Amino acid sequence: MSEKNQEPQQQLNIELGEKEAEGIYSNLAIISHSPAEFVIDFTRVMPGVPKAKVLSRIIMTPQHAKLLLNAMMENISKYEQQFGEIKLNQGPSMFPGMPMNPKVN
């Protein structure tokens, strides 16, 4: 393909505010979907505490959810190449007494 046929790439400037730069720790994501969107609720579960509050909710189109999945898989692969395989716990729940399918209110 000649340079004449290529579209110039646009640069996207992303602003990261102070509050957002601090981040929010989450150790549980609850994912649901409809035909039009995926909803990801991020929460933090503490051992022995039967209740957790949603800290952040992200809503995206199915196409963007799949792009996120692909980006996560690519980044996990790069992480594991650099730091080694990420091991997953084999138990029924990371938090004893916590149900596998938490009730969302």
pLDDT the model gives residue 3: 54
The pLDDT score that the predictor gives to residue 66 is 98
Q: What is the pLDDT of residue 9?
A: 80
Q: Is the distance from CB of 73 to CB of 93 less than 8 angstroms?
A: no
Which pLDDT belongs to residue 4?
Answer: 60
Distance CA 35, CA 61 (A): 9
Per-residue pLDDT 10s for the chain (105 aa) are: 555 666 778 899 999 999 999 999 999 999 999 999 999 999 999 999 999 999 999 999 999 999 999 999 999 999 999 999 999 886 555 555 555 556 666
Residues 99 and 93: beta-carbon distance below 8 Å: yes
Strand partners for 65? none
